[in-house]
Amino acid sequence: MEEFLKVLINVNFNGWAIVEQDMYPAPFDKPLLFSKRTYEYLEYIGMVKTDSFGIK
């Protein structure tokens, strides 16, 4: 994802992206945990941006 982010920066991408993580079958209590971890990683590498209203 870090290399992908570099490409987006190099082409001056300024839009939306959707990240999908398939992990089924999975226990019902696990997807939220993995989603939070993935979101925190994307935020850490700078892929999650806050708009002018403070919404991520």
pLDDT per residue as tens digits for the range 1-38: 899 999 999 999 988 877 777 776 777 777 788 888 88
Alpha carbon dihedral 41, 44, 49, 50, in 10-degree steps, equals 110
Spatial neighbors of 1 by CB under 8 A, at least 6 apart, are 41, 42, 45, 47
Asked if residue 42 lies in contact with residue 19, where contact means CB atoms within 8 angstroms, the answer is yes
pTM: 0.66
Whole-number pLDDT of residue 6: 93
